[in-house]
Amino acid sequence: MNVTELPADPAGFPDVAASFMLDGPAGKLETISEVAAPAGARRGVAVICHPLTVEGGSMHNKVVTMVERALRESGLDTVRFNFRGAGASFGSYDKGHGERDDLAAVVAWVRRVRPHDALWLAGFSFGSYVSIAQSVPLHADALISIAPPVGRWEFEPIALPACHWLVVQGEADEVVDPQAVFDWVDTLEPRPELVRMPDTSHFFHRRLMDLRGAIKHAVRGWLPALRGQPGASSE
């Protein structure tokens, strides 16, 4: 992938894959945006959050990049970024509190440059915790949670969204207890769509293409209208 380096805080959404720094609450946030193929581009932007920074998580994680690919191939433009303390982002890890603010800052930029687009949030592991926590405050139109770390993080006080919501969980996850995730999903109302992936580890080793297919299949009916057409969603 060829990525163009741009000045900080671009005034518009780049029309090519681009890297840049955005203003965040703890300093600059390292960010990459990518654009869907024009023929199938939809009126929506997906912001994708990475796993735990102190365990090596970054926006270059293979699961994160596969989620990005699946959503871009579905027609959404995408934004990945490094939480504070990851990669070239300023600041230091803040146990999920400051990371929520980082996501809010990135979404504020997306809404500034694409004010009429649907906002989708996605995350893997810790990133799914942050994006779930911010889905109601940020008024997400859709939410995708890959291996949400139920049992490792406190989900109970979080306001849960009423938007379209997909949860994907590997049944052989060695980091997150799969049964805890399944039991948690069963308590939710409205209930998100759950995809259980047999023989699949936390990092989806040898199953990344299956993850891509599962996401594309699940979100097909949720996609916003084609860019250039009126309306908020497709049939």
Please report the pLDDT score of residue 117 as a whole number.
98
pLDDT of residue 234 exceeding 50: no
User: What digits encode the pLDDT tens for the residues 29-46?
Assistant: 999 999 999 999 999 999
Look at residue 183 and tell me if it is in a domain. Answer: yes
| 175 burial level (CB within 10 Å; 0-12, 13-18, 19+) | middle
Mean of pLDDT values over 180-189: 95
Look at residue 230 and tell me if it is in a domain: no
* Inside any domain, residue 187: yes
Strand, coil or helix: what is 67?
A: helix
Q: What is the pLDDT of residue 231?
A: 55
pLDDT in tens, 212-227: 999 999 999 999 999 9
What is the domain range of residue 81? Answer: 4-222
Q: Is the pLDDT of residue 110 over 50?
A: yes
Q: Is 231 inside a domain boundary? A: no
Buried b (16+ CB within 10 A) or exposed e, 47-77: bbbbbbbeeebbbebebbbbbbbbbbebbbb
Mean local confidence (pLDDT), 75-82:
98
User: What is the DSSP track for 194-205?
Assistant: EEEETT--TT-T
pLDDT at residue 232, rounded to an integer: 47
Q: Is residue 232 part of a domain?
A: no
Distance of CA 214 to the CA centre of its chain: 15
Q: What share of the chain in percent tops pLDDT 70?
A: 97
Query: Does residue 230 have a cis bond before it (omega within 30 degrees)?
Result: no
Please tell me the predicted confidence (pLDDT) of residue 233: 44
Quickly state the pLDDT bin for 1 (edges 50, 70, 90). Answer: low
Does a structural domain hold residue 145?
Answer: yes
Mean pLDDT of the chain: 95
In a domain, 151, yes or no: yes
Instruction: Indicate if the pLDDT at residue 7 is higher than 90.
Output: no
Please give the model's pTM, rounded to 2 decimal places.
0.96
Whether 36 is covered by a domain: the verdict is yes
Would the pLDDT of 21 be above 70? yes
pLDDT value of position 213: 98
- Output the six-digit token pair for 159: 């306001």
- Binning pLDDT at 50, 70 and 90, where does residue 156 land? confident
Q: Count the domains in the chain.
A: 1
pLDDT, average across residues 145-170 = 94
pLDDT tens by residue, 186-201? 999 989 999 999 999 9
Structure tokens at 49: 């959050």
Per-residue pLDDT band at 235 (split at 50, 70, 90): very low
The CATH number for 58's domain is 3.40.50.1820
